Amino acid sequence: MKNPQHHISIPTLLDVNEGNLAKIGSLVKKTGKTHVVLFFGDGIKELFGMTVIDSLNDDNIEILHIYEEDNNSIDCLLNFAFSIPSTAEMIIGVGGGKVLDIAKYVSFLNDIPFISVPTSTSNDGFSSSGCSLFIEGRRRSVPAKMPYGIVVDLDVIKSSPEKLIYSGVGDLISKITAVFDWEFEDAKGVAKIDDFAAMIAKKSVNSIVRMDIKKDIHDEFFLRELVDSLIMSGVAMEIARNSAPASGSEHLISHGLDQLAEKPQLHGIQVGVATYLMSLVQNHRSPRVTKFLEETGFFEHVKGLQMKAVDFERAIDIAPSFKPYRCTYIHLEENRRLAKRYLETDPILKSILI
């Protein structure tokens, strides 16, 4: 191998602070780009549109076009991709996961920089290179490009619905079981772990679970840590060039729930519960996972959602089928049996699932 080191893309612009939506103009100005296209998610323009538009106008950034869209089907997306004005130098996506994925993919197809401005941080998608798109009636993960910039307004995140913050909490804690699955695969010779990506993924979650502060989802300091950690998780996937550092057996169970449950819950909510379950199966750091999910109020929140144990049972059965080439804990029959036994016997799971 000529060059054994590898190179990755990381965001050039990264700003996580209070009041950032009103500063978006000055942040974009720093990049030297002056012609932008805006994508707002459904209902986002009414809430935050004027703040963003005024800020861009104040800094003489020309807005060439504004799209308002939450349809992440590939057909719809291709229409946008070919309608982007040729003078556009940058695409800015403002909103939740769907619109950020749309804007990210459109910028990828047009090969222009993308600035990710999440109004909620319910998973690590806002800081990753991958997109979740609807292709031929199915949700699929497709590769795109790391955002050029990530701008997070902590005031906006703070005022976002609790369930979205809890979803972020659940997605973050999953790095504990995901990295353990990856190490398991490496030991079995099925995958080759990327040491640096694994370290970043571990640090992302450890910095928050070990932090000696009140784990209050409304606390500014906690939210800042949560957002930073989710960003690090996105970067870990970029380093590994796959999702393994951030997504293991717990994510496979969540994919199963998406397919089977009558009413699937938010990604990070499902993933958080599955992380707790898999930490028991892996016999790996489950006291830490429990403590964090208890202290943040995650378990209490989940109790009100009426998630069904029977859905988890079926999701466990089909979990390996989503990534048959992997060999996480849930790929082994004996571990699936063990997981199902925990559903029946573990006091916490019995109290949060119906």
Footprint of Zn ion (CB under 5 A): 123, 171
Rounded distance between C-alpha atoms, residue 290 and residue 280, angstroms: 10
Which one, 123 or 229, has the nearer CB to Zn ion?
Answer: 123
Which one, 171 or 238, has the nearer CB to Zn ion?
Answer: 171
Q: How far is the CB of 245 from Zn ion (least distance, A)?
A: 11
Instruction: Find out whether 118 and 223 touch, Cβ atoms under 8 Å.
Output: no
Q: How far is the CB of 265 from Zn ion (least distance, A)?
A: 13
What is the residue whose two structure tokens read 């573990």? 346
What is the residue whose two structure tokens read 């059965």? 317
Half-sphere exposure of 271 (CA within 13 A, CB side): 26
Which one, 171 or 194, has the nearer CB to Zn ion?
Answer: 171
Q: How far is the CB of 250 from Zn ion (least distance, A)?
A: 9
The residue whose Cβ lies closest to Zn ion is: 171
Nearest CA among 175, 160, 179, 97 for reference residue 131: 97
Q: How far is the CB of 229 from Zn ion (least distance, A)?
A: 13
Rounded distance between C-alpha atoms, residue 58 and residue 6, angstroms: 40
Q: How far is the CB of 59 from Zn ion (least distance, A)?
A: 34
DSSP state of 45: I
State the amino acid at position 264 in one-letter form. Answer: P
Which one, 123 or 275, has the nearer CB to Zn ion?
Answer: 123
Which one, 56 or 271, has the nearer CB to Zn ion?
Answer: 271
Instruction: Find out whether 124 and 233 touch, Cβ atoms under 8 Å.
Output: yes
